[in-house]
Structure 1
Amino acid sequence: MRIIITLLLGSLLSVCALSPQVQAAARLSSDSIEIRSPLLGDEPATFTITLPANYGEDNTQKYVLMLDWHPRAQPLLAGMQDWMSHNGGWPWVETIVITPPNGHQGLGKLKSAAIETGDEALLDFVERALLPAIEAKYPTNGFKIVSGFTGNGGLVLHALLRRPALFNAYIAISPVLSEDFAKVLSQAKNRLKGLDKSLAGKTRFLQLSTSDSDFERGELDAFAELEAVLKANAPASLKWQSLRFDGSYYMTQPVLGVARGIEFVFDEVHKPLAADSAISRQGVAAILAHYLRLSREVYGFDVSAEGALIALAKASLPDAPQRAMAVLTESVTALPGNHSLKFELATIQASLGKNKDAAGQLEQALTLTNHPFWQRHYQRMLIQLRASREGESVRLSLRD
């Protein structure tokens, strides 16, 4: 029995050693960056920088930044980010994670001043020293997230209210708010009212979360008070949600809060507009304008309109294939580098017997992707089309 178990374990280890996903995870690396600032005093602060598994493989790729104020958040966020991004950045767009040193006196004083009086020196340090140093060293796309648990969650809200332009997304997990922590509750109403003006209408994301665990019950009244202030005063440019994870453990809150926060923040990146949405009903141009706005004004990196355009086209099938073909023809003209749109157009053309046109679209699609899956299927479909007569309806499918 012992020999059999040993052989099984050996086989499992061999499989893991050959797995590309496991190999990629093993390449997760941590770097460090030393930050000097008069705000810290004489002692520099060395922050840990966790890089995505595929960091450096594509010289053109730029990354999201995420700062968490707890040193022990590093292994948690590194593992979560790797798992939630390894499937094509879905749902977590690949991110560089920043965590602070443990026990740094200068940072501790800055945090204490923020907590006690609402002082902004901690935010000055982030804005003038920390973020510029990181952005000078690593390829970033401009989208920045800050997260924090309990007291650090209160500091996340402090940052949103005092420097809303500093980060694009704020994840406050079980935040401490009682006794007017960091002056959040006493100033929330007025500062929320001025948010649109200070951001020039640009979108910011906020997620609050808490639970009814023993350690959080003392903060629930203050949490409810902040929720009420947000409902009454949050501008349209602040996309926010509040979640309760009642029945879950206190130390599980960062896992739940970060996972749901990431889904919330990047939801529009991954979930296409429905064909019956107000924007999609206006047509291809409106969809393209919407995703251009998301790319330029919300995220700072390219957000693809592909899924929404395909959904709009497919909404006309099977009853109105000519309308679907018109949608996709306009789409491929606007986005000539998108192979998936060309494939979808080819499927409709082939169903209508326009096999030469369909073959032309697939030939172009082949030149636009190196992915083995798409290469194999597009080549197979081309053979299928070339063996068919013009005018003969052909069904193209990703199933062999």
Structure 2
Amino acid sequence: MKPTIIHHIILFVAMACCLHHASAQVAQKIDLTGDGQLLGLGRQHIVESSILPEDRPVIISLPVGYNTTYARYPVLYVLDGLQNIKHTVGTVELLAEAGLIPPVIVVGIESLDRNRDLTPSNAGQEVHGGTGNAGIPQSGGAPEFLRFLSEELIPFVDANYRTHPFRILEGHSFGGLFGTYTLMESPGLFDAFIIEAPALWWNKEEMTAQAKIFFPSIENLNKTVYFGIGGGDGWGMRQELTRYVEVIKQHAPENFRWLHEEVGDEGHMASRLILNYRGLRFIFSDLSGREDLIDDFNAVAFLSTEEHLKNKYGEMARRPAEDYFNLVSELVNKDNDLGAITVLERASEAYPAYIGLLTHLAKLYEKTGQKEQAIDAYLLGVEVSKKYKQGQEEDLLLEVSRLRKTKE
């Protein structure tokens, strides 16, 4: 008998409830030191730099599951890393768990002299915050610091960790100034930038003057850049950033994805957490659902898109679980059970701890006459339930027993 709209509604509600239950957080253990302290932020390395020259401490935080896979991961390089490592790692792990970004390696670059390393030129007497006399005499070290990143730090990370080629540079204030400088000075080094409340007042807005030369001169720039600032930021930041992005509006190169936004009423320092979150969301926004996948579903095209995302961001990249769920629901409503099975097979691979995906995959297998596959899906659910102590083993084994009896 052909399913009615009531059957579809019941299935939709059941899937929603089951997905909500299945996607509840599964605690990941964090290693402890001998005296019981949590280790979750990463490991410090000392990189001996002959370019700067000095020893540079960096903190490298690996994504959950790094040691149980052979996957390669994109790398997020965070300036002022010691100040920003805690909130950045927490945000990255939350977003990756939700499938809104892929798992990434975070490299926090500790600042030893940010006035030197992050400024693109020497500041004279009129520098903001200076005394009116000598300015900041050590400023202007960004070219050498950029060489350190390109020739020493990035090769060090690539040599010691399983890195994917996709790289992001994130910086706030002077770090945002350095990110803007790097975008124009060495655009090939990073694939994406999170530029937060950049100090574009520097040396009478010289970065904006440089932008008026850089952007009109380049036809194609395949980069993604987030320009964010708190709505409560003050002098030297908001209007200067607006003037910079006005240049981009007038001369945006092809394939240049960018967003400028003022967020909330946060001031200069308080904005870092929310700008980090929104910047990551924007950079990886192509992981979220696409309407064309629903409107004109094609299994080959769907799987090809999934492979494209994994090639772009690493093999652990995945869509949010809700996106797979919504696509499955639409396909079931259109009586495209085989298409829904294709999506659920991919979703259960992407979210191996979600029993709800496996149980609905099993139901669709059974509905389409694939009883052996249904049994295998339920049995895999039993193993997942045991591993994560979800208490579903008995119910799942009852389904296996029922299906085996119908085969006899």
TM-score (ref. length: structure 2): 0.70
User: Separation in 1 of the partners of 2:168 and 2:212?
Assistant: 23
CA contact (8 A) 1:114 1:182 kept: no
Question: What is the alpha-carbon distance in structure 1 between the residues aligned to residue 195 and residue 391 of structure 2?
Answer: 46
For the 8 Å contact 1:295–1:302, the answer to whether it is kept is yes
Partner letter of residue 171 of structure 1?
Answer: I
The secondary structure found in structure 1 opposite 2:296 is: helix
370 and 164 in structure 1: CA distance in 2 versus 1, 3 angstrom threshold: farther
Report the CA distance shift for 1:87/1:145 in structure 2 as closer, same or farther (over 3 A): closer
Residue aligned with 2:332, SS: coil
Alignment of 1:97 onto 2:107: yes
Partner of 1:296: 311
Alignment of 1:1-400 (within 5 A): 26-28=38-40, 29-37=42-50, 39-40=51-52, 43-52=53-62, 54=64, 57-58=67-68, 60-70=70-80, 73-82=81-90, 84-85=92-93, 89-90=97-98, 91=100, 93-103=103-113, 109=116, 111-114=118-121, 120-178=143-201, 183-192=206-215, 197=220, 201=222, 204-213=223-232, 216-269=234-287, 271=288, 273-274=289-290, 276-277=291-292, 281-297=296-312, 299-304=313-318, 310-318=325-333, 320-321=334-335, 323=336, 325-330=337-342, 343-350=359-366, 352=367, 354=369, 356-357=371-372, 359-362=374-377, 365-366=380-381, 372-373=387-388, 377=392, 380-384=395-399, 386-387=401-402, 390=406
1:131 partner amino acid = I
Q: How many residues align structurally?
A: 352
Could you tell me which amino acid in structure 1 is paired with residue 229 of structure 2? Answer: T
The 1-side partners of 2:211 and 2:163 are apart by 30
Q: Root-mean-square deviation (CA), in Å? A: 4.0
Cα distance in 1 for partners of 2:299, 2:202 equals 52
CA distance in 2, matches of 1:265, 1:306: 15
Q: Is the 8 A contact 2:228 2:279 kept in 1?
A: no
Shift in CA distance, 262/291, structure 1 to aligned 2, threshold 3 Å: same
- CA distance in structure 2 between the partners assigned to 1:87 and 1:110 by the alignment: 30
Structure 1: unaligned runs, 5 residues or longer: 1-18, 392-400
Seen in structure 2, the aligned counterparts of structure 1 residues 362 and 164 have a Cα distance that, compared at 3 Å, is same
Q: Distance in 1 between matches of 2:254 and 2:338?
A: 35
- Segment drifting more, 367-376 vs 249-258: 367-376
* CA distance in 2: counterparts of 1:327 and 1:358, whole angstroms: 16
Higher RCO (C-alpha under 8 Å, 6+ residues apart) = 2
CA gap of 1:127–1:237, structure 2 versus 1, over 3 A, is: same
Paired position in structure 2 for 1:16: none
| Shift in Å, 1:143 | 2.8
Query: Structure 1 or 2: larger helix share?
Result: 1
